[in-house]
Amino acid sequence: MLRITDHGTAHTCDGIHRRDFLEIGSLGALGLTLPQLLAAKARAADSTSQPDDGRSAIMIFNLGAPSQIDTFDPKPEAAAEIRGPFQPISTRSADIRLTEILPHHARHADKFSLVRSCFHTAAAVHDTGHQMLQTGRLFTGGLNTPHVGCALAYLKGRRSDLPPHVILPEPMGRTGGNLPHGQDAGFLGKAFDPLALMADPSKPNFKVPDLLPPEQIGDVRLDRRRKLKSLVEESMQRFESSQNAKLLESNFETAYRIMTSPQARDAFDLSKEPTAVREKYGMNRFGQCCLLARRLIEAGVRFVTINTFITVFDEITWDIHGSKPFTSIEGMKNIVAPMYDQAYGALLEELHERGMLEKTLVCNLAEFGRTPRVNPAGGRDHWPQCFTCYFAGGGVQGGRVVGRSDPIGGYPAERPVDPAEVVATIYHALGIDLETTLSGPAGRPFPVVDFGKHEIKELFQA
């Protein structure tokens, strides 16, 4: 995974680094064959020579998992220990009621639609839900399937100097299961991994040094980078028959293109936004990531993944078990929900005002829901049996509710939706035929979604 940091150094997911330059991969440990590399280049060439339909997506992954009852699926008629402390409020959609902690969502409820009957049957640990909701599958038998954004990069390539898939602010960290989270390209290989920012865009004077123009880098550092590029070119001459060397050169060129591209620098430069716009999103990490996602989509990135949080430990998150190191329901109300609600409302508003929402899917996902009954610590625990995901833009008709949970929000009562259908919906909104296959292990065709799975059609019906 290519990681652009705010410290002038890039790290791979294996911990490899090269001072003062962006480097991807390592000779002998790259995990991609020459045929795959050539095929990727061919796809990238095709994507620039054929008409682009302009479709993009922003995936907001609510790491930690919101309580469906306290947010998107209130149960005011249930007993107090189930309905929780929050009152339902009306919205701009006659069909959607939310709780009082999401007032910005309420004002934009005509733009998004809820799916209140999502579920999965895997273990109730964060990591399994992360895998299933971002790839459509649970990882079994040592097979890591690709994130939907990485599969899109494989199928359609880049449309600008920027990479096709970017993760903000960084990939998911520790969430307790010590399993892969599904935020990389899996069996497609490292060449299709997303670019990860590895920086907090809400910090004062946020800049990405490796994207600074040459005059700001300094002669010494720039000279080092030129020398490193020369070394790679010399190594290519010596080892030009090596598949790994060819991949290293390809990845080097990708990193160098990003670093020297005015388009890339401009896309990441939040100082170009008026202060009032930045404040509308909220001057916090998530808010500025949402603003940055809008800028990246405008600049030509096909897919942006935003992790609302990075870990569930020692941070106020959606993981409201009620006792430390986790979050209480009050913490969700006072810290998490206002930050999240404000940024999401601003993102939808700007995408709509700029005419981008029609071709930009915004999907808000989570790994599971929370227990219907409040626990003795005053929180709610993991509950994959029923939860809410929601969608806006990308052809989705707003203001709707698909599916229904039972009276306590514990199980789907109508139109159950599994993770494969959620991921199929994302592919559909991006214009990917659900019969499409990827090049799987040993070159075998691997379907993007399980056989017979379809998009959530009710979201798109006029």
Q: Are 368 and 404 in contact (CB under 8 A)?
A: no
* Mean pLDDT to the nearest integer, 225-252: 59
**Is the pTM for the entire model greater than 0.85?**
yes
Query: Which two structure tokens, joined as six digits, stand for 8?
Result: 């002038």
Residues 17-34 pLDDT 10s? 333 333 333 333 333 344
Q: Are 146 and 185 in contact (CB under 8 A)?
A: yes
**Confidence band for 324, pLDDT divided at 50, 70 and 90:** confident
Give φ, ψ of 425 to 5 degrees.
-65, -40
**Confidence band for 251, pLDDT divided at 50, 70 and 90:** low
How far is Cα 432 from Cα 136, in angstroms, rounded to an integer? 15
Query: In 3D, which of 296, 32, 288, 39 has the Cα closest to residue 161?
Result: 296
Find the range with the poorest average confidence among 133-137, 141-145, 210-214, 221-225.
210-214
Q: Give the rounded percent of residues in the chain with a pLDDT score beyond 70.
A: 79
Query: Which two structure tokens, joined as six digits, stand for 348?
Result: 């939808």
Residue type, 200: D
Question: CA quadruple 406, 408, 409, 410: dihedral positive or negative?
Answer: negative
Between 215 and 198, the higher pLDDT residue: 198
Find the range with the poorest average confidence among 103-112, 190-199, 254-263, 349-358.
254-263
Q: Which helix (H) or strand (E) holds 29?
A: none
443 Cβ contact partners less than 8 Å away, ≥ 6 residues apart = none
pLDDT for res 325: 87
6 Cβ contact partners less than 8 Å away, ≥ 6 residues apart = 198, 199, 200, 203, 206, 207, 208, 209
How far is Cα 175 from Cα 459, in angstroms, rounded to an integer? 31
3-class DSSP state for residue 19? strand
Residues 346-367 pLDDT 10s? 999 999 999 999 999 999 999 9
Q: Are 343 and 282 in contact (CB under 8 A)?
A: yes
pLDDT for res 132: 98
Residues found in the chain = 462
* Mean pLDDT to the nearest integer, 185-202: 95
Residues 102-150 pLDDT 10s? 999 999 999 999 999 999 999 999 999 999 999 999 999 999 999 999 9
**Confidence band for 389, pLDDT divided at 50, 70 and 90:** very high
Q: Are 121 and 384 in contact (CB under 8 A)?
A: yes
Going along the chain from its start, the domains and CATH numbers come out as 31-207+269-459 (3.40.720.10)
Q: What is the mean pLDDT of the chain?
A: 87
How far is Cα 186 from Cα 143, in angstroms, rounded to an integer? 8
pLDDT score of 78 more than 50:
yes
Q: Which helix (H) or strand (E) holds 354?
A: none
3-class DSSP state for residue 82? helix
pLDDT for res 186: 97
* Mean pLDDT to the nearest integer, 169-189: 96
How far is Cα 63 from Cα 322, in angstroms, rounded to an integer? 16
pLDDT for res 97: 98
pLDDT for res 236: 59
* Mean pLDDT to the nearest integer, 383-387: 98
Q: Give the rounded percent of residues in the chain with a pLDDT score beyond 90.
A: 74
